[in-house]
Structure 1
Amino acid sequence: MVKRILNIQDAAWVQRVTVWRQVKDVLFIGIGVVMASIGLKGFLLPNGFFDGGAMGVSLLLEMVTPLDLSILILLVNLPFIYLGYRQVSLRFAIKSTVAILGLALLVHYIELPTITADKLLIAVFGGFFLGSGIGFSIRGGAVIDGTEVLAIQVSRRSSLTVGDFITVFNVFLFIVAALIVNLETAMYSMLTYFSASRTVDFIINGVEEYLGVMIVSNHSDEIKDKITYDLGRGVTAFKADGGFGEKAKNPDRHVLFCVVTRLEVTRVLTEIEKIDPKAFVIQYPIKDTKGGMIKKRPLH
């Protein structure tokens, strides 16, 4: 189907790219689930600490209800999975469901010895393992903490950005934790959240909420159609001349530019590679925007 529509690449190459992407996704998600379960069972749960986001809500509910954490992880993330299906794709929702189910099973069945009793080490390394799990899962095209999916939905309906919403959500969560549990646990848990969030940023190479993607390719028309019609994302085509060699003699080439979320960038890169494996692709974080479909950040 792709070969017939684009008429530039053989089906065998497209199949290899697709299979290799799927293998990497499974590997990343598997590593993420294992890392997150180590952070929970080896550090946070034995010491009554929790994190931010949907995982923090699950841990907080586990402290104040008789429900098992594995069940709470599933229940809390179900609405986020549905939002992921509506906002991203069915494939994203399926992969996230499998990842969250795997995490719930590991949390329920595995037993790990208590690694340390030092509260500072628990907060820092518990956050590190949990953040690694979230980061690797995102690299695999899934989430095990659905707060970002909710944040994307809220950002499209209000003046809050993804980052702003996550900050407000977690501030409220830690205030509730301080009232229900105690202030000291809430403060250590804030450190856990900070460690986890920095680790997530590191795992996914410092990717911000939105990424600018610039594509230089001899097959720019096919890539533009793929991103626009199949992926449903806007693309701007700039007329450009090559700067050196034979490419400098081609005055009619185009450079493509699009803005996507970090949950979508993996799929965009995969589709580009299917069409033109030699395409020159530049990714960079979007710090601020004005106009267009991306709203200006009110708190920055």
Structure 2
Amino acid sequence: MVKRLLKIQDNSIVKRITIWRQIKDGLFIAIGVVMASIGLKGFLLPNGFFDGGAMGMSLLLDMLTPVNLSVLIILVNLPFILLGAKQVSVPFAIKSTLAIFALALLVHYIEVPAITADKLLIAVFGGFFLGSGIGFAIRGGAVIDGTEVLAISVSRKSSLTVGDFITVFNVCLFIIAAIFVDIETAMYSMLTYFSASKTVDFIINGVEEYLGVMIMSSYNEEIKQMISFDLGRGVTVLKSDGGYGDKAKELPDRKVLFCVITRLEVTKMLVEIEKIDSKAFVIQYPIKDTKGGMIKKRPLH
């Protein structure tokens, strides 16, 4: 099917890409499971801290019930895995199941000595290692914390966004912790959650955040040459219709330049555009990811 649709003559290309993708996914998931287990065993568990999301729920239940944490990790995430099979895909659910079982086994069997007794360091670095684990697992196409799967499902059936649901979920979780454990632990655990969430964003999105830039100018040809030859970036010319004002009447068929650059390059581009046309209208907006073209690959892709 793929060969016929894409008109690929050599099927070995498809197999090579697929195998290499599976190897990278497996490596990312393995790294994620190890990092998360270090965060749990080396920082959070010895000091009674927890995180947000499904992992935070597992840790909180471990404090309040006699059930082993390894069992709780599986039980809490099981409904999210089943939901992921319906909402995302069956391969996603299978990889997530393997990742969660691997994490549960590591948490149960490995011994990691408590690295520090400083509560601030525990919260920050525990969140860092746990967030790294969650982020690498997501890069591998799986989850070891299924809250986002539930959030996606809820957002499709209500007015809540994914971010809104996760925020509400974690606020409720920390309130319960403050009531049944203590306020100080809940506050430090909130810090753990913030550290973990920022680490997840860093692992998934990388250092080089991409921006889409749209430029409307009477000197679009000069700006296009500058972007292509001076900055070495690809640029696409879009045809547009002017909608308002005298310029719309004078130039009904206008051109809009579009390119994708990193945040580190945007200042230089704006300066160069200013040199060519100080009245140019420039729009910037964030882009989650890119592939192909003249944008260099991200380090972990």
**Above 0.5 in TM-score?**
yes
RMSD: 2.5
Question: After superposition, what is the alpha-carbon deviation per residue over 1:104-152, rounded to whole angstroms, capped at 9, x for unaligned?
Answer: 0000000011100000000000000000000000000000000000000
Question: After superposition, what is the alpha-carbon deviation per residue over 1:156-214, rounded to whole angstroms, capped at 9, x for unaligned?
Answer: 0011100110001000100000000000000000000000000000001169xxx99xx
Go from structure 1 to structure 2 and tell me whether the alpha carbon gap of 1:44 and 1:7 turns closer, same or farther (over 3 Å shift).
same
Alignment partner, residue 12 of structure 2: 12
Tell me the distance in 2 between the aligned counterparts of 1:142 and 1:282. 26
Alignment partner, residue 183 of structure 1: 183
Structure 1's consecutive aligned runs of 4 or more residues displaced over 3 angstroms after TM superposition are 238-241
Cα offset, 1:6, TM superposition: 2.2
Given residue 133 of structure 2, which amino acid in structure 1 is its aligned partner? G
Given residue 95 of structure 1, which amino acid in structure 2 is its aligned partner? K
Alignment partner, residue 268 of structure 2: none
Tell me the distance in 2 between the aligned counterparts of 1:5 and 1:20. 21
Given residue 101 of structure 2, which amino acid in structure 1 is its aligned partner? L
Alignment partner, residue 203 of structure 2: 203
Unaligned residue ranges in structure 2 (runs of 5+): 213-235, 240-257, 259-287, 297-301
Unaligned residue ranges in structure 1 (runs of 5+): 213-237, 242-254, 256-261, 270-278, 284-300
Map residues 157-172 of structure 1 onto 2, 5 A cutoff: 157-172=157-172
Alignment partner, residue 141 of structure 2: 141
Map residues 50-89 of structure 1 onto 2, 5 A cutoff: 50-89=50-89
Go from structure 1 to structure 2 and tell me whether the alpha carbon gap of 1:206 and 1:172 turns closer, same or farther (over 3 Å shift).
farther
Tell me the distance in 1 between the aligned counterparts of 2:135 and 2:28. 9
Question: When the two structures are superposed, what TM-score results if normalisation uses the length of structure 1?
Answer: 0.70
Which of 249, 256, 280 is 2:293 aligned to?
A: 280
Number of equivalenced pairs: 223
Given residue 154 of structure 1, which amino acid in structure 2 is its aligned partner? V
Alignment partner, residue 263 of structure 2: none
| Identity of matched residues, % | 78
Given residue 125 of structure 1, which amino acid in structure 2 is its aligned partner? F
Question: When the two structures are superposed, what TM-score results if normalisation uses the length of structure 2?
Answer: 0.70
Tell me the distance in 1 between the aligned counterparts of 2:294 and 2:166. 29
Cα offset, 1:7, TM superposition: 1.2
Map residues 76-115 of structure 1 onto 2, 5 A cutoff: 76-115=76-115
Tell me the distance in 1 between the aligned counterparts of 2:237 and 2:18. 30
Structure with more relative contact order (C-alpha pairs < 8 Å, separation 6 or more): 1
Go from structure 1 to structure 2 and tell me whether the alpha carbon gap of 1:115 and 1:65 turns closer, same or farther (over 3 Å shift).
same
